[in-house]
Amino acid sequence: DVDEKATTPCGHVFCFGCASREVDMRGRCPLDRLPATRAQLEPCPQPLHATEAPAACASTRAHDHG
């Protein structure tokens, strides 16, 4: 679900689908490429606002979910 957010071990926030796809395929955070696994992805509370989570580096509009 595009609305579900996940936080990587390094603190970056992505939609769950994009984060899980990257860690499954490449074993890393989509932004800084530090090692990560799907088991390390943590749910991120909703709603996500930049003022609530300054580590957020991507939004659901910033990348392709196709």
Q: What pLDDT, on a 0 to 100 scale, did the predictor assign at position 56?
A: 44
Residue pair 11/55 in contact by the 8 Å Cβ criterion: yes
| Beta-carbon count within 10 A of 32 CB | 12
Q: Is pLDDT of 60 > 90?
A: no
- 2 pLDDT tier (thresholds 50, 70, 90): low
First-to-last alpha carbon distance for the chain, in angstroms, is 12
- 41 pLDDT tier (thresholds 50, 70, 90): very high
pTM value? Answer: 0.65
CA–CA distances in Å: residue 37 to residues 8, 30, 41, 50, 63: 9, 12, 7, 25, 20
How many residues in the chain?
Answer: 66
